[in-house]
Amino acid sequence: MSRRRSTALAALAALAPLAALTGCGGDAAPAPEAPSPTGSAAAPIRIATGPTGQTAVLAHVYAERLRGAGFDASVVDTGTGRSGHLEALERGDVELAADYSGNLYLHLRAPRAVGPGAAPTPSPGATAPSAQRTTPPDRGLAEDLSELLGLGGEGAGDEDVLGGVRDVLPEGLQMLEPAPAENRIAVVVTRATAVEHGLEDLEDLGPVCSALDLGADPDFAARPYGSEGLEDAYECVPEDVVPFASTGELVTALLADDVQAAALFTASPAIEDNGLVVLGDPLDNFVPQRVVPVGAEDLPEAAVQVVDDVSAGIDTDDLVLMTRMTTARDPYTPEEAARYWLDGDDDT
């Protein structure tokens, strides 16, 4: 466990004030010096909060690093709907946002309404896109990812999805370097269950699946990667798929053996806190979800380098820490969590 993360755990357990968290070390590489902004690089860079609490923390991390490199950077709350920050990017209301590769690709491939009244009115002074378009509310994984990517029956791997995002981004936008961090759905079990059944990946789960109950969020069973995906890829048909309204309730049921497996996001702190075993997904049933910054094509090269350098130091453990801090009983704001992460990074 890194020094940054172990310090955070102790601080959260003690509910220490934010001031006590500064000056802690970490294992991310020191931020390299970025080129000094010149000319058009002095233009403000507005960063959307993105669709999750994690992307909101990342927005503040990007902003702080950009300010340190001489840019006028700020964070803009665009709501948690994916269409919010994408439309803001297309309109020119913001210049940068972090998202997750799989859900971003599926959202961009969803049908879009076209025509007068279909898109929100741009804010004063904003540059409207040449064709007013808006996306419907997120449909989740309503379409098969592999078919959309032209892979046929093969599972969609990480690079397939990243390439797909690059291909379908709206005109005027670019995908910057993805971070190593990911937050995809995975099936997890307790260590006792893993030992009892010899489980390392979902291929091991298939032969014993019918004897186990699987806990998940209420929509899991109906999604293509849910009951249908597990059966198609791994011949895994649980005895029952039990819906839970919250991650806390699901983890409690798993630890009590009320369910023997659970579908959780890989950046959930509950996995580490309870020593849960993440089962591998060799056939890529679950959609890859890498952190991907999306920016305007005219974003200054010096700013792109700053963001790329930050992204290179963000891994899944960092997402776990950010989630832990912003969902604690006495939660930190995204800006406070970003400041803590940056303090740890600066002290390495």
Residues 37 and 71: beta-carbon distance below 8 Å: yes
Tracing tokens 């670019």 back to the chain, one arrives at: 174
What pLDDT shows up at residue 43? 82
164 membership: H or E segment, kind and range: helix 158-168
Architecture of the domain defined by 29-182+290-313: 3-Layer(aba) Sandwich (3.40)
Distance of CA 316 to CAs 121, 158, 183, 282, 311, Å?
Answer: 37, 15, 7, 19, 11
What pLDDT shows up at residue 37? 56
DSSP class of 182: B
Note the Cα 264 to chain centre separation in Å: 13
Alpha-carbon gap, residue 282 to 206, rounded angstroms? 13
HSE of 55, CA atoms in CB hemisphere, 13 A: 29
Confidence of residue 299 (pLDDT cuts 50, 70, 90): very high
CATH number of 185-278: 3.40.190.120
| Sign of the alpha-carbon torsion through 261, 265, 267, 268 | negative
Report the percentage of the chain scoring pLDDT > 90: 59
Q: Look at residues 192, 225, 200 and name the one whose alpha carbon lies nearest to residue 278.
A: 200
What pLDDT shows up at residue 81? 81
Domain boundaries, the chain: 29-182+290-313, 185-278
Q: What b-and-e string marks burial along 249-261, b requiring 16 or more CB atoms within 10 Å of the CB?
A: ebbbbbeeeebbb
Q: Please name every residue paired with 75 in a beta bridge, in sequence order, or none if there are none.
A: 47
Report the percentage of the chain scoring pLDDT > 70: 74
Alpha-carbon gap, residue 92 to 46, rounded angstroms? 9
Distance of CA 332 to CAs 204, 248, 272, 324, 337, Å?
Answer: 39, 19, 20, 9, 6
pTM score over 0.85: no
Tracing tokens 């961090």 back to the chain, one arrives at: 181
Give the DSSP per-residue string, 39-87.
Answer: GGGGS-EEEE--SSHHHHHHHHHHHHHHHHTT--EEEE---SSHHHHHH
pLDDT tens for 198-252 read 999 999 999 999 999 999 999 898 887 888 889 988 999 999 999 999 999 999 9
| Identical fold between 29-182+290-313 and 185-278 | yes
| More confident call, 326 vs 344 | 326
DSSP class of 280: B
Residues 62 and 48: beta-carbon distance below 8 Å: no
Q: Look at residues 293, 288, 292 and name the one whose alpha carbon lies nearest to residue 145.
A: 288
pLDDT tens for 2-54 read 444 444 444 444 433 333 333 333 344 444 454 555 444 468 999 999 999 99
DSSP class of 16: -
Alpha-carbon gap, residue 323 to 58, rounded angstroms? 11
- Report whether pLDDT(142) > 50: no
* Triad 317, 323, 324: Cα angle to 5°: 90
